[in-house]
């Protein structure tokens, strides 16, 4: 069975000023409509304990071939998700991170689509 690709949007609880110019649902609806990935969940705070649990459960599914994560700085994401990836046995090379802080909806969508298309 073919591997699945997911896009995960992390929104810093929806309260961070760097995300205030973005319509999260418009981003997810556009990605869903364009079928660039197989699933498009949103998470409030991946770097919190429940985010860790979410990543462990999600990525324990060996059918997930790639995970694109838009949120904060890629190096921060790599550090914060490291333990969950290890526990789920999810290779770090399958994680594609992108910082969408301070972008508006259009900018974020363009950046996300570019990242996905460049790493199909
Ligand atoms: S993982 Fe990054 S974007 Fe998500 S809540 Fe933590 S700091 Fe914010």
Helices (H), the chain: 24-34, 49-59, 74-88, 105-118
pLDDT in tens, 106-116: 999 999 999 99
pLDDT in tens, 39-55: 999 999 999 999 999 99
pLDDT of res. 1: 64
Q: Indicate if ligand 1 lies below 6 Å from the C-beta of 58.
A: no
The residues near 19 (Cβ < 8 Å, ≥ 6 apart) are 11, 12, 100, 101
pLDDT in tens, 57-83: 999 999 999 999 999 999 999 999 999
Q: Phi, psi (5° rounding) for residue 38?
A: -85, -25
Q: Taking the CB of residue 98, how many other CB atoms lie within 10 A of it? A: 21
Å from CA of 79 to ligand 1 middle: 11
Domains of the chain: 4-118 (3.40.50)
Å from CA of 51 to ligand 1 middle: 9
Residue 21's SS3 state is coil
User: Does pTM surpass 0.85?
Assistant: yes
């Amino acid at each position: 069975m073919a591997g699945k690709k997911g896009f995960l949007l992390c929104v810093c609880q929806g309260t961070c000023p760097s995300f205030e110019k973005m319509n999260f649902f418009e981003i997810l609806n556009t990605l869903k409509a364009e079928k660039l990935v197989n699933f498009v969940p949103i998470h409030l705070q991946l770097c919190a304990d429940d985010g860790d649990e979410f990543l462990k459960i999600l990525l324990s599914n060996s059918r997930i071939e790639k995970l694109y994560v838009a949120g904060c700085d890629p190096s921060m994401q790599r550090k914060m998700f490291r333990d969950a990836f290890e526990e789920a046995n999810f290779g770090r090379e399958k994680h594609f991170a992108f910082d969408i802080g301070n972008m508006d909806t259009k900018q974020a969508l363009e950046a996300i689509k570019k990242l996905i298309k460049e790493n199909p």
